[in-house]
Amino acid sequence: MWVPVLFALGAALSNALATVLQRKAALTVPKSDGLRVGLVLDLLRRPVWLAGFMAVITAGVCQAVALATGPITIVQPLFVLELPLALVIATALLQGRLSRTGWLAVCTVVAGLAVLLFAASPAGNRTQVPMTHWIPALAVCAAAVVALVVVALGRPEGRARAACFGLAAAVSYAMTAALMKTSMHTLDDGGVTAFLTTWQTYGFALFGVCALFLLENAMQSGPLVASQPALTLGDACVSLALGITVYAEYVRTGWWLVPQFLGAALIVAGVLALSRLPLARALASEEKGTP
């Protein structure tokens, strides 16, 4: 069970590093009020941005290995650590400063995640899922994404709009992971040909692109304190639900639910506190450059 945990942590760390490196690169390019075709060319000439891009690829590989070797109910919740890791890395690379409150929030998220996973003790690692499981999961998640986008578009710019887009992105990321898990098992069992001919491969690519698009809209629609908790916590919660309902994974119930709720509460409190930090807002803000 340590293999998926280590690779999931590697994916979270790589994603956090990518966020900071790409933000650092964005601060060095000319600012523009609109879309600029030359932006990509400017970024490609910056080693920091290329390093960030390689970190994104590394994160994807690590996540694929983690999902192929362990339950989604363990792998995806560990991505809650992306925000704390990004802020810790940013204190060094962006010459920022994480306050005492920030460090306390980081420790709160880590402690909450540890309590939650220990109490839940997720288990099970089904390799293939019947269509009778996929159809309702896809229908519910797609409907949820559409509904959240409709609600977001009906709201003015602000916290509600950002939260709706963030939650829609979270649902998309969770479904991406669920489909990727089956694709990785297909690759392991049948090779590249089987991987390229299974519908789940194209499904996770589609949901992944959708997630990135929705995330960009979330960042532009309102403050990070609204979008980041919806994204971080929504991804973990939906992934847990998909792991249990689609992959027949299970967690401990009974009195174990008490420490699980306590761990979840600590994570929520820590993520909310981190999202309010000036350094966190700087990572998502466009005020100092063009991301």
Whether residue 117 is predicted with pLDDT greater than 60 in this model: the reply is yes
Q: What pLDDT sits at residue 270?
A: 93
Tokens at 116, concatenated: 């939650």
From the centroid of its chain, how far is CA 212? 10
Of 282, 244, 273, the closest CA to residue 101 belongs to 273
Q: How far apart are the first and last CA of the chain?
A: 37
> Which token pair is 82?
């992306």
Contact 22, 91 (CB under 8 A): no
Grouping H, G, I as helix, E, B as strand and the rest as coil, residue 77 is helix
- Cα(137)–Cα(286) distance, integer angstroms: 36
- Higher-confidence residue: 223 or 27? 223
**Residue-level pLDDT at 96:** 66
Q: Any idea which residue has 């280590």 for tokens?
A: 6
Sequence-distant (6+) residues with CB within 8 A of 220 are none
Strand partners, 250: 123
Give CA separation, 130 vs 134, 137, 184, 201, 218, in Å. 7, 11, 16, 15, 33
Element housing 82 (H / E)? helix 82-93
Which DSSP string do the residues of 110-141 spell out, in sequence order?
HHHHHHHHHHH--B---S---HHHHHHHHHHH
pTM of the model as a whole: 0.83
pLDDT confidence bin for 83, thresholds 50/70/90: confident
How confident is the model over 86-98, as pLDDT tens digits? 888 888 776 667 8
What are the pLDDT digits (tens) for 8-54?
A: 999 999 988 887 887 776 655 555 444 344 555 566 667 777 888 88
